[in-house]
Chain A
């Protein structure tokens, strides 16, 4: 199956700093990637849809200036949490959609962000 790599797997940062999370599709080209956030014991909530070469589409209530998404190539999307605050602490997971519109989603391993 397709492999999606996500780094880092966990990160601890001070309040006010920025954190970048990378999501790579290793053996396929992903035209579309999705970024989810998951709070403890809750479901996955879609934050934004990232399309290669264009601006990301954010879900309602998600601040685009706080969660910067870049999808510069067919194998890499990045999420930068800017000026992180403790309430941003969460499990962030990326997922990738195959190049030919295959609706199967392949998830990264997730990033546990803790903001002190």
Chain B
């Protein structure tokens, strides 16, 4: 089955700097890669997703890149703000099937 590895487990950046979180997946048949943001005690919120027919997608300060050949995808947050502090999870799935999550990255934005 699919296996998703996420790094780093913790990340601390200065406010205004960029943050990058990376994930690798094992199943070349996976074609859907969402990223979720989870605040303490809350539900995961989908912040951006990408499909395998696209190499990059951007939404304001958030972007995701996908390298199908290498089987890795990354989340990029620019101009970080204190409210970006949370745990971020990547995930991978084949169409309409169960998502497999990465281990999570605890992002802290230092003012």
Contact = CB atoms under 8 A, between A and B. Distances in A.
Interface in B35-56: 41-46, 49
Interface residues of A, number: 23
A103 B32 contact: yes
B75 to A, nearest CB: 15
Contacts of B49: 104
Contacts of A32: 96
A104 B43 contact: no
A101 B96 contact: yes
A97 interface: yes
A74 to B, nearest CB: 15
Contacts of A91: 41
Interface in A20-76: 32, 34, 41-46, 49
Contacts of A34: 98-99
Nearest to B44: A107
Contacts of B101: 43-45
A5 to B, nearest CB: 11
Interface centre among A41, A45, A49, A112 (most CB of B within 10 A): A41
Q: Which 4 A-B pairs have the closest CB atoms?
A: A101-B96, A107-B43, A103-B32, A43-B101
Interface of A: 32, 34, 41-46, 49, 91, 93, 97, 101-110, 112
17 contacts: A32-B96, A34-B98, A34-B99, A42-B103, A42-B104, A44-B89, A46-B99, A97-B96, A101-B95, A101-B96, A103-B32, A103-B93, A103-B95, A103-B96, A105-B99, A107-B43, A107-B44
